Amino acid sequence: MSILVNADTRLLVQGITGREGEFHSTAMLEYGTNIVAGVTPGKGGQTALDGRVPVFDTVADAVEQAGANASCIFVPAAFAPDAMLEASEAGIPLVICITENVPALDMLRVYHVLRARGTRLIGPNCPGLTSVDEAKVGIIPGNIHRRGPVGLVSRSGTLTYEVVQAMTDAGMGQTTCVGIGGDPIIGTSFIDVLDMFNQDPETEAIVMIGEIGGEEEEKAAAFCAREVGKPMAAFIAGRTAPPGRRMGHAGAIISSGGGGTAESKRTALEEAGIRVADSPSHIPQLLRDAGVG
């Protein structure tokens, strides 16, 4: 079983005719993702990806005519908030926004509107997600995956790739891998995804990849201590970052009051009974120590 996307997902891509949209949509299609439509205003009636995908002017048209039930957004940051709102208004229940540099003030508005409408948002500034051998939505490389019992959720795209590759090399496969994004305001939290994995009967163990900044990992640790009975392993990036230094993601900044450090997150996770790796490559061994694989 998988979470969020599967073989029945009917994906539309907003921005499919742009350079990034076309490149990654081709990779998604080759992986086996069912891309049923693209959306680029002014290009309705055309096709994309060598004639394999019809293009519509609006998301509403794509929903009505192609039956799309999920959207992946590859549009510039200035247009991404409206793209997310348009997908939600058209009744799309799942929106994955890959776009980075979306202004935080715009995301405040988008976040509350989408939640009020019941739209699940992954991102922005995220790598997307893969339900292995079923659907790949976003920019995560398809060839690093192997089907298996481990669910993964991460704030970091590149660390997602590294940990997935390490698990695959160790013969340890995945159910679904989700990159939630590293911005301060994102649509889906660690707790949201951890709860989905906890309820998924085929996910036997969970990996969480966090980083410095904010309190989301500490909140997730408290949730896991209360609710999650499955074996878990984790890694926290940014152990050497000094206070006040931003490390790549807009959300990865340690406050001057000492919150959000790698040490505070590691302590919270370990107190919740979660094994914490010293390096991403150590994750498979921690899972084996927990009886997985």
Q: What is the pLDDT of residue 2?
A: 85
Structure tokens at 62: 């794509």
What are the residue ranges of helices labelled H in the chain? Answer: 19-31, 59-66, 80-89, 104-117, 157-169, 190-199, 216-227, 262-271, 283-289
Contact yes or no for 175/130 (Cβ under 8 A)? no
Helix, coil or strand: residue 100: coil
With CA atoms as reference, report the closest residue to 96 among 14, 38, 194. 14
Q: What is the pLDDT of residue 1?
A: 66
Q: What is the pLDDT of residue 244?
A: 56
Q: What is the pLDDT of residue 256?
A: 46
Q: How many CA atoms lie within 13 A of 161 on its CB side?
A: 11
pLDDT tens digit sequence for 63-117? 999 999 999 999 999 999 999 999 999 999 999 999 999 999 999 999 999 999 9
> How far is residue 156's CA from residue 139's CA, in Å, rounded to a whole number?
12
With CA atoms as reference, report the closest residue to 55 among 46, 63, 64. 46
Residue 35 identity: I
Identified catalytic residue from 112, 145, 249, 282 = 249
Place of tokens 């609006």: 58
Q: Could you read off the pLDDT tens digit of each residue along the chain, which spans 293 residues?
A: 689 999 999 999 999 999 999 999 999 999 999 999 999 999 999 999 999 999 999 999 999 999 999 999 999 999 999 999 999 999 999 999 999 999 999 999 999 999 999 999 999 999 999 999 999 999 999 999 999 999 999 998 899 999 999 999 999 999 999 999 999 999 999 999 999 999 999 999 999 999 988 899 999 999 999 999 999 999 999 776 666 555 555 554 544 445 578 899 999 999 999 999 999 999 999 999 999 97
- Could you give all domains of the chain from N- to C-terminal order, each with its CATH number? 11-122 (3.40.50.720), 140-289 (3.40.50.261)
pTM assigned to the model: 0.93
Bridge partners (DSSP) of residue 70 are: 11, 94
> How far is residue 245's CA from residue 56's CA, in Å, rounded to a whole number?
43
Contact yes or no for 70/46 (Cβ under 8 A)? no
Burial class (CB in 10 A: 0-12, 13-18, 19+), 30: exposed
Residue 129's Cα: distance from chain center in Å? 5
Structure tokens at 200: 């998924």
For the question of residue 249 being annotated catalytic, the response is: yes
Contact yes or no for 272/231 (Cβ under 8 A)? no
